[in-house]
Structure 1
Amino acid sequence: HPDDRKIFHQALEASLSGITSLDIEHRIVKKNGQTIFVNQRGAVSYDEKGNTVKFSGSIQDITDRKLMENDLRESQSKLSGIINSAMDAVITVDDKQNVILFNSTAEKMFHYPADEVLGKPLDRLIPERFRNIHRKHIESFSKTGISMRTMGVINPISGLRADGEEFPIEASISQVEISGQKLFTVIIRDVTEKKKAEEALISSEARYRLLFKKNPLPMWVYDFETLKFVAVNFAAVKVYGYTKDEFLSMTIYDIRPEEDVPALKNYISNLKKPFQSAGIWRHKKKDGTIIDVEIVSHEIEFDGRVSRLVLANDVTDKKKALDELKSSREQLRELAAHLQNIREEERSAIAREIHDELGQVLTSLKMNLTFVDKKLTADEARIDPDDIHSEITGMKSVIDKSVKRIRKIITELRPEVLDQLGLISALEWQVNEFKTKSGIDCELLNYFGEAEVNKNISIAVYRIFQEALTNVMRHSKATKVEIKIGRTNNHFELEIRDNGIGFEQKKNKSKTFGVLGMRERAIILGGDFKVENVKPSGTKVSVYIPLEII
């Protein structure tokens, strides 16, 4: 072959010169153009005088062997490339556990160059305390006849870097026998980061499990398909009254009032978002108590099944307070409108009183004065003193009646006795007025005494007292009223009890406005107001207001 001629001639000349015999592998080109590999051998023969006699030799076709060797080299090259490009360390040892293969990943993992490890015992890559165990493990594995198995399944294993650092590894070992010699190959993976991640996950799971168990709010997990509880925390057990085992035998329907179940089924059928604020629902505790809870849920995987983690916040008191606040605002708006109507009615009544009473009085006085004027301007002979005296007397009588009527109007608007004699006397006067107008037997028991009371408190108590008696007269159908006034812990106490038909808030709205007005008067002064039915019949109004004694 043209490419092999130079090396062939060099080898032939060396052989002919007697330096060495000819033994060379080269290519030849046959007559048909085919190239083959041959092994050519030969030697020079000499006579007795040392002269060259002949050159004899042989040629052997080694094409098949060469092709096999080329294939083997390519295969080895590919295998070496695969092993060195592997992401895991690949280490092969002989039956004496000396390293015969150490790929590039192993170099990076253990911080050793291959030439420092090849031919050396595997022990240098194993922490000292594990070396005997590892050696026995390989010897035992050799006897099993198993071709491959995973290492470290029962106990974790570690590697040892060149700088003495230990690190966690996962490994699998295989064995093969070549030419009567057993070889063991270990594939090793550095799991340092994996272990850190696992430890972090375990720590995180432990924290979240603790947060779940110790959360002060009820929490549970339910299976999204069966709707059965699969986990509950301590707060859920405490709030709902069921034991953990009872919870785990129930579905989420079991803690709902029966009438709310259809709405829950419809909600679940449309539940699509992983995180969902479900709003406020009614739940039923073991003892039958109904509570309002605000629900937030999140889709999770629990024991391999799609589930939802639920947090339930009891907002019963909050909702009640908001409902009461809303109701109070509505009542105050209605009360304001009612008071406006009452104010207009009072103005109309005052206008009628002035028109009907004072208007007539003034008209009568004008007529009387006109008569007197005519008498006085007439002839002296026609003046009758008795007539004039009679007219003046009549005018005095009209004026007296007018004064009484004006005083009555003023008293109805604000009794003078309240300003002149104080609260207790005003209450006593009001009792007498009530008995006169209603005909109802009324008794006032004074345990308070005659001490003077702050003006603002006096007005508030008097108006509450006045409204309460008005309600008794209009609505109670009572025959007897008992009133007590007293003092406890520097508070003014007023109690009004009748034997009527009792109090029904929803039946009479105008009466409700009166009650609301009384309550607001007490609250403004930092006090308390209560109206309740009493047995066997009747209503009791209680007022409790802080005192400011002068």
Structure 2
Amino acid sequence: MLAAGSSPSPAAPPPGRAREGMSAYRGAWLAALATAAVVLVITAVAASLVRARLLDAAQERFVTLSAHVTADLRRELVICTEAMRGASGFIASQQSPAGAPPSADAWDRYIARLALEDAQPCLRTLGFAQASGDAFAAPPETPIARLSLLWPLHASAGADGIGTDPETRNALLRAANTAQIALAMRPAHDEESSSDVPRPRVDAFFPVYRDAPPPSQPAERRASLAGFIVARLDTEYLFASVAARTPRTGLEVVAGSPSRVLYPPAETPANLPLPTAFFRRTDVLRFGGETFALTYATRDPSLTAAAEFGTNAFAGSGCAAALAAGAGVLLFGRRRVAPFSDAGARARRSSSTPNEARLMAIVRSSPEAIITIDEAQRIVLFNPMAEQLFRCAATEAIGGPIERFIPERFREAHKAHIEQFGATAAGDRRMGPHRVLTGLRADGEEFPIEASITQFADGEGRKFYTVMLHDATARIEAENELKRSREALRKLSANLQTVREDEKTRIARELHDDLGQQLTALKMDLSSAQQTLEGTPGVAPSALAQLQSMRRLIDSTVASARRIAADLRPVMLDDLGLRPAIEWLINDFTTRYGIEVERRIEPAAFDFSREGATALFRIVQEALTNVALHAEAKHVSVALAVESGRCLLRVADDGRGATTEEVEGRAGNSFGLLGIRERVHLLGGTVSIETAADRGFILTVMLPLAAIQQEEALP
């Protein structure tokens, strides 16, 4: 047997002794089964945790993929908006003083320059509808505007009227009041659809005003209304072209009230998202006053392949470990059967020898190294995997001390650990506080190992310890490589943020200085030309009116350039410092969203480094953006102070708070918080979040002054 030192069995054991032997025999089997069951339960729990973690990682990849598709759709719709905005500017610049639109030839030349047939696949038609009088005061059955220009066909002036159906009329009123693009969705007529089932028709409208920039009040905008840029969007082609980039992911788009399915086409049911998909997610895209619900679903097996493989591999290793542990306990428990009668012993040996042979075969074929020692910590079992792990033959190891395979500096601690474990009633446990120990090969090489230990006693009360060992070198190296790659990614992220800030600064400066100066010079030249023409006899009043319209358009362009430059990077952040930049940001936030902001910004004379000022400004900007998008708050407080060698930034609101998934970054829309954490980590600071449902959101950032202070200002 495995444990040495058994006493010889008596010639004729008494019946009571035989019954004790049978009881010990059954006890050995029960102990082996219990050990194997415990290992299997632990393996099942660990395998389920591993599978859940791998499925979470697959879900995150799917969320990222669907977010990219949503971003592509938003970008395509913005391109269509810019095309309509440009057409609006063209119509406004070409109108006569009487309000007549440009000629069909001028419209043809403008469309030819745009090359819409190649550049804008989602625009099926593009035209201009002229409003007459107070169009919105007319009866509902009266058209709001008359279509006078249309690409690719020309309609005669006033041939077609728009705005007689409720959907279109509401969209036109919304566009006129907001000076923004508006969508109208309604069922298409049979002749407008190429399929047997008519698809919803999506029309887009962009207002054209006689005044530039348009008035600020809705009533004044309606009074200044000249007409609408009218476009029909080919949404079926748009969604199909974007969905084709992810062929293994199904896409369903629903919009309008009542809800209408825009994609996939009704005649191709095979493209519908599968009801038993592995992953499903719904994004919301708001455009033109309408809300698009984008549902993504996939059954791509490549997303779950890692989870299936990892779970199966973990379960297989656990089953092997359970068999090995049970075999070790059974083999040494059988020693209790030895001191019985010769006949009974022979009968029991004859019946148990095949079982022992099978158990020894399991131990020898186990993928884990198995070593058994006695109370004197001498080796009595050394399986082939242990030979391979420690590069030592079993004949050399058995009978020797276990200390041979432990580095000298750990031997005393290991001896005390075994003695303490033997004094307890515990059946098994992990060895080492961090579950990773250091082993010593026969050739003197040290290596990391993971170990678990089990103790049992034979029939004579002697204790034995079975240790299962696993070489952890590969796992430790993988963890170190993961740490190195994580640090490399963080350095890359920091570099990308720096490059992006530099690029934003460069673009903002060029917009503010170069483009702004050129537009100012252009306005001065235009004013000079206008003054010259006003004093020249025979100049048509329409030419002077067109020059005045051009001046207003230049003013609007200058204002847009300044706003874009400020959004990219406020010039005052580099010129005046952090505090004025944050004050401007808070004032702009209050103006845009009407939310009251209480501020307490103390370090007025503090010298921040460029990187520190940029990080704090971007953190405040991201926090206020989250408040505007998600918080539904009525009051916000921003505090910035320097105390005890640290810089404290606190942004709090009284909004709806956030869920645990949103805070921990698992909801798919919390990239802002992730960016804040990365910025703070690069500066050696900490981020804390306090939130609960309907109890507001508090973001607190602590940064060391040494990381954000100017070098010349350091003590």
Q: TM-score, normalised by structure 1?
A: 0.39
> Relative contact order (C-alpha < 8 Å, sep 6+): which is higher?
2
Alignment TM-score, normalising by the size of structure 2: 0.31
- Compare the two structures and name the one with the higher strand fraction: 1
